[in-house]
Amino acid sequence: MYDCILLGATLPGMTLGAMLARAGWKVLMLERKRVAGGRAAPWERDGFLSLPGIPRVRYGEKGPFYRICKQLGLKPLLVPLNQAWVLDTDQKVRRITIGKPGILRADFFSKWDWVFALRLLRSLKGETLEDMEEESLEEWFVRNNIRGSLQKYLKVLAYESTHCTAPEKISAGETLRCFQKAFRLRSYLAYPREGWIPILEGLEREIENHGEIRWRTRVERIEIKEGKVTGVRVGGETLEASHVVCAAPCQQLVSLLPEGATTKEFVNLCEKAVPSAALIVDLALKNRIFHKKGLWFFMDPPSYGTFLSNLCHRHAPAGKQLATFVCPCSPEEVRQPEVVRALEKKIEENLRKALPRAEMAVEWKRSHVVRMLDSIAIQSDQTRKDRPGYRVPNVEGLFLVGDSTCAPGATMEMEYESVLACYERMTTERDA
């Protein structure tokens, strides 16, 4: 019998599994594929290595993911991503910074913009942001008479941190919380200097120290008896456990539960959850055309990307480069091939306008649609209170972890906040 069975070798699933294993729990990880990372699983072609969605470390060494790594003894070296370049709607490239160096700077800011932004940051308090979660960014702009340059800065921040590109849907509270936190911590984003594979391998070793990982294993259902989880059903066999954690999206969790096992409200919350989606474009470049470390933002269509091989040498053969761009979309947009093709074409055009040398440098490209970039889109009509909690109601010992939970924060933050919250609840209940 296992102390805990985790469903899905996603990044949050692996981190929680490693933490439980380090605490002495007998852990079993079940993954239907043969690779860890979930939606961020790596793929390789011609010596180029890409990870869909550009998994990044929010707030660097001061964020939740790095805190978990320190607890596990991993401590990866990080490359800061605090500066960025924006291809504006007038086709000019402008630089912005969010963390160090030069906090809160943008080429399109006037001195008044900068002073106003500082005053704004100092006026924001936790209770104020809480009240603004259901207010859209567009409504907040109008209500506070926010100037166009500061609007542009906050939109850029919001596109990346929420994976939503519609200001009338973006949560003002969540955007400003991220804005404020990056300013306070003097750090915005970072990327592992040696890439994600060493981290995934480290998490895998930690889990296997007190348990095992079974690849290519599909779970048929979660077993529940008298309101308590007893294990999972796999290949006609029941694997017993006192705790089960679903690290897959909440939409998949409900399909594994026996009918009537939990409340109708919880089931409806999971089934109605709207995910974010994206078009991801990888461009393999036969020579180096850009040498700096940071993010690129395109305003039309709203998208972001980076030269991954500038951050970690593992992403491209010597002398070459890999650039990856993410264009957040709605679930409806990614189902329309003509829309996807137009977005793909526009992203390539934007790169050539920003960096003309890209015209002759492309060796190959790969475009693919991710129908679920985040399990739940962070929007003003889908705030934390509209997302399921870490505990499954009416089922003792059954937990949910990942970016479909009510965890606070932005993309690449909330999933690890959920790991910390889940770990605390599970260990507290076990010790009680």
Nearest to 403 by CA among 391, 423, 388: 388
Where residue 337 sits, what CATH number does that domain have?
3.90.660.20
Stated pTM of the model: 0.94
E runs forming strands in 42-87: 43-45, 48-50, 57-58, 78-80, 83-87
CB atoms within 10 A of CB 135: 16
Q: How far is CA 71 from CA 17, 19, 246, 254, 420, in A?
A: 13, 8, 22, 32, 11
Helices (H) and strands (E) in the chain, counts: 13, 20
Contact between 297 and 86 under an 8 Å Cβ cutoff? The reply is yes
Residues 266 and 391 in one domain: yes
Residues 287 and 190 in one domain: yes
- Separation of alpha carbons 347 and 329, rounded Å: 13
Domain boundary among 184, 214, 248: 184
Residues 190 and 79 in one domain: yes
CB atoms within 10 A of CB 357: 13
- Structural domain including 176 reads 105-184
Residues 215 and 262 in one domain: yes
Return the amino acid letter for 158.
A
| Residue 139 CB burial class (10 angstroms; 0-12, 13-18, ≥19) | middle
Strand partners, 232: 222, 239
Contact between 174 and 385 under an 8 Å Cβ cutoff? The reply is no
Residues 143 and 225 in one domain: no
CA 303 to chain centre: 15
E runs forming strands in 52-202: 57-58, 78-80, 83-87, 93-97, 105-106, 189-192
Residues 332 and 280 in one domain: yes
Q: How far is CA 391 from CA 74, 405, 409, in A?
A: 28, 10, 19
Residues 387 and 266 in one domain: yes
Residues 269 and 391 in one domain: yes
DSSP letters spanning 371-409: EEEESS--BTTB-GGGS--SBPTT-BTEEE-STTSS--S
Residues 93 and 238 in one domain: no
Residues 252 and 393 in one domain: yes
Where residue 13 sits, what CATH number does that domain have?
3.50.50.60
Residues 157 and 291 in one domain: no
- Separation of alpha carbons 188 and 190, rounded Å: 7
Contact between 401 and 418 under an 8 Å Cβ cutoff? The reply is yes
Residues 226 and 99 in one domain: no
Domain boundary among 327, 355, 374: 374
Domain boundary among 150, 184, 218: 184
**Residue linked to tokens 């709203």:** 302
Phi and psi at 272, nearest 5°, equal -90, -5
pLDDT in tens, the chain (432 residues): 999 999 999 999 999 999 999 999 999 999 999 888 887 788 899 999 998 889 999 999 999 999 999 999 998 999 999 999 999 988 999 999 988 777 778 898 888 888 888 888 788 877 678 889 999 999 999 998 888 889 999 999 999 999 999 999 999 999 999 988 998 899 999 999 999 999 999 999 999 998 999 999 999 999 999 999 999 999 999 999 999 999 999 999 999 999 999 999 999 999 999 999 999 999 999 999 999 999 999 999 999 999 999 999 999 999 999 999 999 999 999 999 999 999 999 999 999 999 999 989 999 999 999 999 999 999 999 999 899 999 999 999 999 999 999 999 999 999 999 999 999 999 998 876
* Domains of the chain: total: 3
Query: Which residues fall within 8 angstroms of residue 427, CB to CB, at 6 or more apart?
Result: 23
